[in-house]
Structure 1
Amino acid sequence: MQIELKRGGAAALADTHGAELFSYRTPAGEQVLWGGSPDSWTGRSPVLFPLVGAVKDRVLRIDGQRNPVKNHGFGRDLEYTVTARSDFSVTLRAEADRDTLAVYPYPFALEITHSLTGAGFATRYRVTNTGSRPMAYCIGGHVGFCCPRGAGAFEDHDLLLPEQADVLLMPVQNTPLPGQQPSRPLLSGVTGFGLDRGLFDQGTLYLEQPGLHSITLRDRRSGRGVSMAYAGFPVMALWTKERADAPFLCIEPWHGLPEMEGESGLFEEKPYLIPLAPGQSRSLEYTVTVF
């Protein structure tokens, strides 16, 4: 079911399947979010839960069990229930069931709230351990933005950072099953760089800098763009479909990483896991300003 949100002339659409906010139009009617396309990427803005990225052989290893799992987990495939709604905000909730427990053996409740602000939107993830033993999880956003937004080109855009950071690359893996993901330095000590499809054709770019809290995508010709504030997420990933000339860029705040070289392969030893005691909840939020 699609849910329409409105505020100050802006309008957005959320979906109970996957709990995605997949459309945001400015008061002028300009589409900001990527709506998916069979020509490049049918995805839109999936939630990544309970893992981020791929694990080796797409097998999740927890408590001595080996269970098949899709890249980014199953949060994007769940059907959510509306638990709160206003003209400009909606909260969607999903809980563990027989299918999720067969992959990820922890009872949980996942609530996702999308709210329109005066200048964009905010998304909050709240995870609760509804079981009787400790659990751990990863979570992240995968927000697809139209790039360009209207006329222009992908290469007309800059990514701007509030301080110096190192940009790393996870190269594309051209194998049927993923292995442990290699990583290498790409850019060192930069405060921004221009979009270049040649960079993204190599793989996913990311910044592993927990103190970094915001990133801006700006069209250097028109001055229009978006800024994302993502305090609390230690990793920021950037992706577009390689060798597809696709008109979008995904800006992805992550609390977790794909399975990287040198890991044990055990889920409970992954970096950036969020632990929860029984009955405990944890919330994370990112906010997007459209200009």
Structure 2
Amino acid sequence: MAVILENGKLRAVINEHGAELVSLLAKDTQIQYMWSGDSKYWGRHSPVLFPIEGRVKDDTYQIDGKSYHLTQHGFARDMDFMVIEQTETSACFELRATKETKQKYPYDFVLQLAYQLDDNGISVTYRVVNPMEETIYFGIGAHPAFSTKLELADQYTDYEVQISPAKKRLHIPLKDGYLDLDQTALKDTDLAVSHELFKDDAIIYNLEQEPAVITLKSKKHGHGVSIEADDAKAVGIWSCYPAKGDFVCLEPWWALSDPITADGDFKHKYAINELAATGEFKTGFKINVF
């Protein structure tokens, strides 16, 4: 099932499966800003990454001496959420722990994704609630994929990515899917889009939990999207390679993949979030379209 949000300017479609934004259409231009989800290249649109972003080493981790198996980006993106609130321009989706999730992740949790449509785009709010009488540990992140065919004549290399405020930022490379913290370096963040740009996996910049705007736009006609994130720890910029899909992902993250040197203890995990007993974590981002 899908939920449709609509106003005079935009129409958004969010699937209950994964609470995933699958369409963001401008009514006047008929521009579709989201990637189509063609499984030949990458069969998703905008999954939520919970309770991890990226990978834990060897897909296995330990909590209090017990081992758990959890694959890349966690399980929330592959589960059905419940719609708990809905208006013409907003909706809130909720996922709670189950017997099945506890086999992969031992904590009780409430995860909510709230969407609010306005004339310029859509806001996404993440809320994690800890119903337990002990601290829980988790990661969360976004993975929206945006089309690089906003107009039919567009070429992939017509697009560019920029991060503002403009400055050199710490680039964190990946090696076999894990962070290589020994090879970090300050780098420029203006990127000319090409398929070869992604040959070494996602391009990750440390945002230091400071407000940032990440923009993908055409150099020819000027249409594009931007992500506004006030407190993300990092951003991943990714597309498939060597397959040549017409999309680029702009991914604000509040967690990161394991480093090569990870010891496997989830409570020690790099960039992990701690949430105290009966506490609440809330964050989010805004997708603007132009």
For Structure 1 versus Structure 2, the TM-score category normalised by the shorter chain is: over 0.9
Partner letter of residue 164 of structure 1?
K
Match of 2:236 in 1: 237
* Distance across 2 between alignment mates of 1:145 and 1:30: 11
Report the number of matched residues.
Answer: 286
Match of 2:14 in 1: 14
* Distance across 2 between alignment mates of 1:156 and 1:172: 28
The Cα of 1:249 is off from its aligned counterpart by 0.6
Match of 2:226 in 1: 227
Match of 2:161 in 1: 159
Match of 2:193 among 195, 216, 219: 195
Q: SS at 1:164's partner residue?
A: coil
* Distance across 2 between alignment mates of 1:186 and 1:148: 33
Contact 2:59 2:69 in 1 (8 A): yes
* Distance across 2 between alignment mates of 1:247 and 1:187: 29
* 1:283 is aligned to 2:282: yes
Q: Runs ≥4 in structure 1, deviation > 3 angstroms?
A: 169-172, 183-189
Q: SS at 2:196's partner residue?
A: helix
Match of 1:168 in 2: 171
Match of 2:205 in 1: 207
Q: How does 1:60-139 map to 2 (within 5 A)?
A: 60-139=61-140
Residues 131-140 or 164-173, more deviating: 164-173
* Distance across 2 between alignment mates of 1:289 and 1:135: 33
Q: SS at 1:257's partner residue?
A: coil
Structure 1 residues 277 and 259: CA distance shift in structure 2, 3 A: same
Contact 1:145 1:249 in 2 (8 A): yes
What per-residue deviation string (whole Å, max 9, x for no partner) do you get for residues 126-177 of structure 1? 000011211111100000101132231121111112221336353463xxxx
Q: Which runs of 5+ in 1 are unaligned?
A: none
* 1:26 is aligned to 2:29: no
The Cα of 1:231 is off from its aligned counterpart by 1.0
Q: SS at 2:167's partner residue?
A: strand
Partner letter of residue 270 of structure 1?
K
The Cα of 1:261 is off from its aligned counterpart by 2.1
The Cα of 1:189 is off from its aligned counterpart by 4.0
Q: SS at 1:127's partner residue?
A: strand
The Cα of 1:277 is off from its aligned counterpart by 1.5
TM-score by length of 2: 0.93
Structure 1 residues 281 and 89: CA distance shift in structure 2, 3 A: same
TM-score by length of 1: 0.93
Structure 1 residues 58 and 191: CA distance shift in structure 2, 3 A: closer
The Cα of 1:262 is off from its aligned counterpart by 2.4
* Distance across 2 between alignment mates of 1:229 and 1:157: 19
* Distance across 1 between alignment mates of 2:197 and 2:170: 11
Match of 1:250 in 2: 249
Q: How does 1:49-64 map to 2 (within 5 A)?
A: 49-64=50-65
